[in-house]
């Protein structure tokens, strides 16, 4: 059966035209778009097999997120909205790299090894970002899916988190929401408006927001919210798709450069927000009276959300376990605040959403955020049930009832499937509104330590291996001791190096108390890895 089932997969149009080895990394396959066609074709084939193996719909997203226009990429989304299972990342890498004449035998091997019933129907839900190369790559993926007789739902231009959302809704028969883009927009907009109520402003909170959409697909989604939230939240949209994707704009640019993106007017103390090219990351920022740039990154969002949930849980009298997950990039100022002031348990895991998501599942309510702005909140089913029942309890005091109802409602504002820039933004706006805070009050909760990130090009980045959630180097032997020596010279100093999972470079992170020293610390550590 197997060999003959795969007989139509050889398609000269999608033969491998490049010999370069390619790997399914933290963010799927990602590289120059012109060498990806055969990879997309093969991932179309693999998505069908994955769908059959899981007996559920699979997502396929064509995007290179915050990378510049010439790059592109692809990642597969598993049925419950998670990243592709680790063992299938290896299968994907192997399939992407086999010679054309080995394609049939490799597919046969996968289907036998994974015990796949080829008669089971397959469904692949596809989305793509706005890159010029995306339509060509879409055709390649479609050709792969059709070669194995899979069903396709092509959602067109959508954000990565929208794809995750539709995959989950499809596989839960609508229990998580309506499996359409309209379902996504109306769910979020309706709950945002109902939580806010008639008072659109509150205390120091003003309902005006400047949004930098990185000239990416998030601009399309932002326009939908701009329309549906008109008068409730006034979104001024910049980098709305008319300029170059991620070029001097977007969440990654703003986070790493710690500078205003192109085109955003520099208005004193106005809340600004940047999302990335596929709208799964978000950071806030503003310019103060002295024209100084202030960044409120993923750590700030995480602490704001954690404090909000902690307060609601305490007021409502619910004893659910709240936890926060960060990575080594989290600013020491935020970790200190979470542990010592908020007293919320905090865990540190390696970079990459799959690690954060997995750890957050251990808590009743798990908040996870990378400093770069990728994150969300996830709830155990039992926690949701408990909150719902509690809100119905008629013996509660008025304050308890209000807090439990808020908790119950805010869950619907959150895209639990994956970090979602726009849903996170609506959550931040909801919390700031509830507290009556402007951006300055939000920033006041703790001070970030001055920090710097550098990229270092090396011959083989994989010579560097790390442990302890990437905070310590194992190899090359002796490197960690050298880093420790340099770091020890700086008050509240901390630094680590790790090989990037998305670029052929090593990343260096450094923070310390004095902003005038942080560059020197980062350069000192970087010089050790050249
Ligand atoms: C990917 C990851 C992101 C991580 C980044 C690190 C997902 C969906 N995305 O974009 O979480 O922060 O890679 O990149 O997991 P790096 O390894 O190049 O530093
Ligand atoms: Zn992204």
pLDDT digits (tens, 9 = 90+) for 128-145: 999 999 999 999 999 999
530: pLDDT confidence band, cut at 50, 70 and 90? confident
Question: Is the C-alpha dihedral spanning 126, 129, 135, 141 positive or negative?
Answer: negative
366 and 378 in contact (C-beta within 8 Å)?
Answer: yes
Using CA atoms, how far apart are residues 484 and 19, in angstroms rounded to an integer? 41
The answer for residues whose C-beta is within 8 angstroms of residue 51's C-beta and 6 or more apart is 57, 58, 122, 123, 124, 150
* Distance from Cα 363 to the centre of ligand 1, integer Å: 23
Confidence of residue 501 (pLDDT cuts 50, 70, 90): confident
Q: How many CB atoms lie within 10 A of CB 11?
A: 15
Whose atoms come closest to the Cα of 84: which ligand?
Answer: 1
What band does 1 get if pLDDT is binned at 50, 70 and 90?
Answer: low
Per the CB < 8 A criterion, the answer to whether 384 and 367 are in contact is no
- Kindly tell me if the per-residue pLDDT of 116 is higher than 90: yes
Report whether 370 contacts 298 (CB < 8 A): yes
Span 4-37, pLDDT tens digits:
889 889 999 999 988 889 999 888 999 999 999 9
Main-chain dihedrals φ then ψ at residue 376, nearest 5 degrees? -160, -170
Q: Pocket of ligand 1, candidates 24, 25, 26, 500: which has the most ligand atoms within 8 Å of its Cβ, to mutate?
A: 26
Pocket test for ligand 1, best of 374, 454, 470 (most atoms within 8 A of CB): 374
Which atom of ligand 1 lies at the shortest distance from residue 327's CA? 12
Considering every ligand atom, which ligand is closest to the CA of 129?
2
Q: What is the dihedral of CA 150, 151, 156, 159, to 10 degrees?
A: -80
Ligand 1 binding site (Cβ under 6 Å of any ligand atom): 26-27, 65, 351-353, 370, 372, 374, 500-503, 507
Rounded to an integer, the average pLDDT of 240-255 is 97
Nearest-CA residue for ligand 1 atom 2 is: 352
ipTM exceeding 0.95, yes/no: yes
- The bound ligand whose nearest atom lies closest to the alpha carbon of 83 is 1
User: How far apart (Å, rounded) are the C-alpha atoms in residues 173 and 371?
Assistant: 34
Q: What is the mean pLDDT of residues 440-466?
A: 95
| Per-residue pLDDT, 461 | 95
The number of the ligand nearest the C-alpha atom of 509 reads 1
Instruction: Label residue 2 by pLDDT band (50, 70, 90).
Output: low
- Average pLDDT across the chain, whole number: 96
Nearest atom within ligand 1 for CA of residue 66: 10
Instruction: Determine which residue's CA is closest to atom 5 belonging to ligand 1.
Output: 352
Report residue 195 as tokens. Answer: 């939580």
Task: Please indicate whether residue 65 is annotated as part of the active site.
Answer: yes
For residue 498, list its beta bridge partners: 507
| C-beta of residue 491 within 8 angstroms of C-beta of residue 512 | yes
| Angle 443-347-516 from CA coordinates, rounded to 5° | 45
C-alpha dist (Å) from residue 329 to 285, 431, 470, 507, 530: 18, 24, 10, 11, 21
Query: Which atom of ligand 1 is least distant from the CA of 503?
Result: 18
Cα–Cα distances in angstroms (integers) from residue 166 to residues 105, 370, 414, 522, in the given order: 33, 24, 14, 42
Q: Which helix (H) or strand (E) holds 401?
A: helix 398-410
Give the atom of ligand 1 at the shortest distance from the alpha carbon of 370. Answer: 12
Cα separation, 471 vs 498, in Å, equals 8
From 33, 51, 65, 134, the catalytic residue: 65
Phi, psi dihedrals of residue 452, rounded to the nearest 5°? -150, 145
Substitution site in 23, 25, 27 for ligand 1 pocket (most atoms within 8 Å of beta carbon): 27
Nearest CA to ligand 1 atom 12: 352
Lowest mean pLDDT among 173-177, 240-244, 490-494: 173-177
Residue with tokens 């994150």: 375
- Measured from the Cα of 329, ligand 1's closest atom is 12
Contacts for 357 with CB less than 8 Å, ≥ 6 apart: 82, 83, 368, 378, 418
Residue range 223-237: average pLDDT?
A: 97
Three-class SS of residue 364? coil
CB-CB contact of 302 with 326 (8 Å): yes
Ligand 1 centroid to Cα of residue 499, in Å, is 11
Threshold 0.90, pTM exceeds: yes
Q: In this structure, how many other beta carbons lie within 10 angstroms of the beta carbon of residue 315?
A: 17
């Amino acid at each position: 059966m197997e060999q003959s089932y795969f007989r139509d997969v050889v398609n000269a149009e999608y033969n491998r035209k490049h010999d370069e080895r390619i790997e399914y990394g933290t963010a799927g396959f990602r590289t120059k778009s012109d060498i990806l066609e055969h990879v997309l074709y093969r991932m179309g084939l693999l998505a069908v097999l994955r769908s059959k193996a899981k007996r559920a719909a699979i997502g396929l997203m064509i995007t290179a997120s915050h990378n510049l226009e010439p790059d592109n990429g692809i990642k597969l989304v598993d049925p419950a909205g998670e990243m592709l299972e680790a063992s299938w990342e290896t299968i994907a890498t192997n399939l992407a790299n086999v010679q054309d004449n080995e394609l049939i035998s490799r597919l046969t091997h996968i289907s036998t090894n994974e015990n796949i019933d080829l008669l089971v129907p397959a469904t692949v839900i596809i989305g793509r970002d706005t890159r010029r190369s995306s339509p060509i790559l879409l055709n390649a993926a479609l050709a792969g899916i059709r070669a194995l007789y899979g069903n396709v739902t092509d959602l067109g231009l959508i954000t990565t988190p929208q794809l995750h959302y539709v995959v989950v809704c499809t596989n839960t028969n609508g229990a998580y929401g309506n499996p359409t883009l309209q379902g996504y927009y109306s769910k979020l907009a309706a709950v945002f408006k109902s939580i806010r109520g008639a008072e659109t402003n509150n205390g120091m909170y003003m309902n005006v927001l400047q949004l930098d959409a990185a000239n990416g697909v998030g601009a399309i989604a932002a326009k939908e919210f701009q329309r549906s939230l008109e008068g409730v939240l006034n979104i001024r949209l910049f980098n709305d798709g008319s300029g170059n994707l991620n070029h001097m704009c977007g969440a990654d640019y703003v986070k790493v450069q710690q500078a205003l993106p192109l085109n955003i007017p520099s208005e004193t103390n106005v809340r600004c927000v940047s999302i990335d090219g596929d709208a799964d990351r978000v950071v806030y920022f503003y310019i103060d009276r002295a024209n100084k740039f202030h960044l409120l990154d993923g750590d700030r969002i995480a602490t704001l959300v954690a404090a909000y949930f902690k307060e609601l849980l305490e007021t409502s009298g619910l004893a659910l376990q709240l936890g926060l997950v960060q990575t080594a990039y989290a600013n020491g100022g935020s970790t200190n605040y979470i542990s010592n002031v908020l007293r919320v348990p905090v865990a540190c895991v390696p970079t990459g959403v799959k690690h954060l998501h997995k750890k957050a599942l251990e808590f009743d309510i798990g908040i996870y955020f990378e400093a770069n702005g990728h994150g969300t909140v996830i709830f155990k089913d039992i926690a949701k049930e408990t909150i719902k029942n509690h809100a119905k309890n008629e013996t509660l005091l008025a304050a308890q009832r209000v807090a439990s109802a808020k908790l119950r409602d805010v869950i619907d504002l959150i895209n639990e499937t994956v970090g979602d820039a726009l849903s996170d933004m609506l959550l931040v706006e909801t919390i700031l509104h509830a507290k009556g805070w402007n951006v300055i009050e939000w920033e006041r909760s703790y001070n970030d330590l001055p920090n710097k990130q550098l990229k270092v090009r090396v011959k083989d980045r994989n010579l560097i291996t790390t442990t302890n959630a990437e905070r310590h180097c194992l190899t090359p032997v002796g490197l960690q001791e050298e880093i420790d020596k340099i770091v020890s010279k700086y008050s509240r100093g901390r630094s680590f190096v790790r090989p990037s999972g998305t670029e052929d470079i090593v990343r260096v992170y450094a923070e310390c108390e004095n902003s005038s020293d942080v560059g020197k610390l980062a350069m000192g550590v970087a010089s050790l890895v050249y």
